[in-house]
Copies of this chain bind each other. A is one copy, B any other.
Amino acid sequence: MTTAYKRIAGQSVERLAALSDGIFAFAMTLLVLDLRVPAIEAVHNEHDLWHGLAALSPRLFMYMMSFLTLGIFWVGQQTQLNHLDRSDRSLSWIHIAFLFFVTITPFSTALLAEFTAYRIALLAYWLNIFCLGFALYLSWGCATRLGLVKDDIAPEVPAAVCRRIVIAQALYAFGALLCIISTHWSIAFIVAVQLYYAVAPRWPR
């Protein structure tokens, strides 16, 4: 691979954004495949149907959590990419790695939802979240170092992007640590953090 090729490869932020949107769209909707209508043979009245739907509620909740987590990282990634002037081969590969962890998220969410009392499930979930955050952190570092960031960026933006990732990851790590007491404390804490990141900005403007 010659230097000339490396300089010209993977420069389109638009293509990176479009691939990301496609992969996010797929990953976010993956767990909906597990929501199946109750079997018609098992339902004889409204009461049965109600129970059939109630039995689906853990899966629906799990799906919502996976959607929420990926929504948070989608917003995080687009905030970075919006500030880039162009991409670069290295940056593209960091985001391809990021997208890999995006597609793993429905699996690790389902794992955690199925095995709420197991520390391994919790740590697998946390490791996934950590890799997502780490990839975004690397991506921003790479973008600023290689001068891919737009010139007209507000001066407080680079620090704000980094701080956001570090604080969020510190909270997730603290949540994961709570599994020393109980995995249920961990899950409650992590869900609370995620709801805060999704809902919080709606009020305090």
**Interface pair A6/B37, CB less than 8 Å apart:** no
Q: Which of the candidate stretches A111-119, A129-137, A184-192 sits at the interface with the other chain?
A: A111-119
Q: Of the candidates B6, B10, B21, B53, which one forms a contact with A15 in the assembled complex, judged by CB atoms under 8 Å apart?
A: B21
**Interface pair B120/A75, CB less than 8 Å apart:** no
The interface centre, meaning the residue of A18, A81, A118 with most chain B CB atoms within 10 A of its CB, is A18
Report chain B residues within 8 Å CB of A159.
Answer: 4
**Interface pair A167/B1, CB less than 8 Å apart:** yes
A35 to B109, CA, bound (A): 12
Q: Quick one: closest B residue to A196, CB to CB? A: B1
Chain A binding surface SS class? helix
Interface residue A49 (Cβ < 8 Å from any Cβ of B): yes
A33 to B205, CA, bound (A): 41
Interface residues on A, range: 35 or more
A sample of 6 more A-B contacts (CB under 8 A), given A10-B75, A29-B30, is A2-B160, A25-B26, A26-B29, A30-B32, A49-B120, A93-B202
* Interchain residue pairs with CB less than 8 A apart (10): A1-B200, A8-B157, A9-B79, A26-B26, A40-B115, A50-B120, A64-B100, A90-B202, A90-B205, A93-B202
Tell me the A residues contacting B by CB distance below 8 Å. Answer: 1-2, 4-6, 8-12, 14-15, 17-19, 21-30, 32-33, 35, 37, 40, 43, 46, 49-50, 53, 64, 67, 71, 74-76, 78-79, 81-83, 89-90, 92-93, 96, 99-100, 103-104, 106-107, 110-111, 114-115, 118-121, 124, 146, 154, 156-157, 159-161, 163-164, 167-168, 196-202, 205
